[in-house]
Chains A and B, each alone.
Chain A
């Protein structure tokens, strides 16, 4: 079946503009993660959704970042008033319910803030 998909693959925006990044997880996966990866760096955890539970937002770097997951499936990561330091690859991953199951990553969205 289809894997995790993300859109857009690339996004170039001007400083101060808002952006929305989309993630379509694997069908039936209840867990969804967002990560940020700056060039040559590791996986910075942003937010985690698990079923109908309240999301774990502990990794969001500022209140300019928010995410939602509608109907337990598609998720949108929104960055308001983008800054140059927001430039990175944003990766989404999904897994079936339990934490000890493989995470499948999407191809990422490369965000460039000019």
Chain B
């Protein structure tokens, strides 16, 4: 089955800096890679996703890049703001079981 690894587990940045979170996956047939944000005490919510037919996708200050050859994908947040502080989870398809498998999460802290 799919195995997703996520790094770092915690990330502290100053407001205005960029933040990068990286994930690797094992299922070479996987075609879908979403990112979820979970604010303190709230439920995870999808913030951006990418499918395997593109290498990069942007939405304002966030972007995701995908390298299918190396089987890794990354979340990039530019001009970070305190409200970006949250736990971020990556995920990838397990094509055998037709389900999503989540990474272990990255706690991002943006200091003013």
Contacts and interface: CB of A to CB of B under 8 A. Distances in A.
Interface residues of B, number: 24
Given A43-B105, A106-B43, A100 B99 contact: no
A56 B102 contact: no
Contact of B43 (A42, A98, A107): A107
B101 to A, nearest CB: 7
Contacts, number: 50
A42 B98 CA distance: 21
A103 B100 CA distance: 9
A105 B39 CA distance: 13
Interface of B is mostly: strand
B88 to A, nearest CB: 11
Interface in A30-47: 31, 33, 41-43, 45
A99 B46 contact: no
A43 B97 contact: no
Nearest to B107: A40
A48 interface: yes
Interface string B5-44: 0000000000000000000000000011010100000011
Contact of B102 (A43, A48, A100, A107): A43
A50 interface: yes
B105 to A, nearest CB: 4
B104 A42 contact: yes
B73 interface: no
A102 B46 contact: yes
Determine the interface band of chain A, counting residues with CB < 8 A from chain B. 20 to 34
Contacts of B44: 43, 91, 105
A27 B81 CA distance: 36
27 contacts: A33-B99, A42-B87, A42-B89, A42-B103, A42-B104, A43-B44, A43-B102, A45-B102, A48-B97, A48-B99, A50-B99, A56-B97, A56-B99, A91-B44, A99-B93, A99-B94, A99-B95, A99-B98, A100-B31, A100-B32, A100-B51, A100-B93, A102-B34, A103-B34, A103-B36, A103-B46, A106-B43
